[in-house]
Chains A and B, each alone.
Chain A
Amino acid sequence: MVEIPGSAKENGDPGPIAREGMQAAWPICLGYFPIGLAFGVLAQKAGLHPVEIGLMSLLVFAGSSQFIAVSMITGGATVLSIVITTFVINLRHVLMSSSLAVYLRSVSKGWAALFAYGVTDESFAVNLTRFRNGNWDWRQAMVLNHAANAAWIGSSILGAFSGQFIPAGALGIDYALIAMFLCLLVFQLRGKLYAITAIVAGVLAVILALLVPGNVYIVLASILAATFGVFFRRLARKTNPDVL
């Protein structure tokens, strides 16, 4: 797109900014909706109240970790183990926020703090692409983050209320999480090294899951596989600099 002088970015008119943010956000909202719905249903089945479900979506706003938290609650896990698992799963946002930070230098600390709340795999991917293209600033990005957030909270509460009308196993809702992970995994397969790391992590996770009870295999396998990936990349660069 061509940068038009006096456009939304220049004069601060909230109308076009909101519209541009929403236009970029709608695919994310559409993607969140069935997942939020599925999350609400599963959480309700795990015995959580709609208010509790909405509160988790509001305070955490991170899909995979919320699903895992619900399954850990069902399994009788302790608060501490759920919080530690959540931390490790969501640590990946450090890299996303680091990449986005470059584009947020002019933003006040308060707005940056609010922006940080909305950094998810999906909002990061869309915002970073737009920032790189140049016709995007933090206000549109902020609208996008919060539109996605609203879709997430809304759909999880809706799922929480409709959960009681949906029998267990109906419409394959139990598979929503696996399908989401499979697709997010596909998004992450950006080259050979990522595919190798994925295979190493998957095989390690299966072995560790068989050997160690509980959910610690997720954290262990991820850390080991990513460490392996870094060494593998360095080694490959030494032998053939063009490989990876």
Chain B
Amino acid sequence: MIHAEYLILVVGMGLVTYIPRWFPIFFLSRRQLPQWFSEWLDLIPVAILSALVFPELVTGGNPRHLDFSQPQLWVALPTFLFALKTKSLGGTVVVGMLLFWMVGKLL
């Protein structure tokens, strides 16, 4: 039922996800990270999230090209404002989905 390749994939993903979670708790609980490194790590989440979401909004097609007319971009603006206002993860997901669905119905 489960392919060997898929099993390798999820075990691999599990390991590379677990080790960064475990390593500092195991080794660094009595040590201090170099400051530049903790400053760098501190900026990684915001950088990753932004790098994930921007191309989704303004690029499309294959090969990829710039596209500012996508509903993804226009729905993102009210969704972003909703997130900014409410700070609710579940709420933002529901609102974003609803708006995207409604825009899909209109177009």
Contact = CB atoms under 8 A, between A and B. Distances in A.
Interface of A: 30-31, 33-35, 38, 48-49, 51-52, 55-56, 59-62, 64-66, 68-69, 79, 82-84, 86-98, 100-102, 104-105, 109, 112-113, 115-117, 119, 121-122, 169-176, 178-189, 193-194, 197-206, 209-210, 213, 217-218, 221-223, 225-227, 229-230, 233
Contacts of A119: 21
Contact of B43 (A115, A205, A229): A229
Contacts of B64: 209-210, 213
A92 B48 contact: yes
Given A97-B21, A210-B65, A172 B104 contact: yes
A181 B41 CA distance: 18
Interface in B44-74: 44-59, 63-66, 72
Contact of B42 (A38, A95, A203): A95
Interface residues of B, number: 76
B29 to A, nearest CB: 4
Contacts, number: 292
B10 interface: yes
Contact of B18 (A34, A116, A217): A116
Contacts of A186: 80, 83-84, 87, 92
A203 B50 CA distance: 9
A194 B46 contact: yes
A206 B54 contact: yes
B28 A98 contact: yes
Given A217-B51, A221-B47, A233-B39, A209 B23 contact: no
Given A172-B96, A179-B79, 11 more contacts: A64-B49, A94-B20, A96-B21, A116-B22, A171-B98, A176-B96, A178-B79, A182-B96, A184-B45, A186-B83, A217-B51
A205 B47 CA distance: 10
A89 B49 CA distance: 9
Which 4 residue pairs spanning A and B have beta carbons closest together?
A: A179-B96, A172-B101, A59-B14, A202-B54
A225 B51 CA distance: 9
A201 B41 contact: no
B90 A209 contact: no
Interface in B83-107: 83-84, 87-90, 92-102, 104
Contact of B38 (A95, A179, A201): A95
B43 A109 contact: no
21 contacts: A34-B94, A64-B48, A69-B9, A90-B20, A95-B41, A96-B21, A102-B29, A116-B26, A172-B98, A175-B100, A179-B79, A182-B76, A182-B83, A182-B92, A185-B49, A202-B54, A206-B54, A206-B59, A209-B55, A217-B51, A233-B39
Nearest to A175: B100
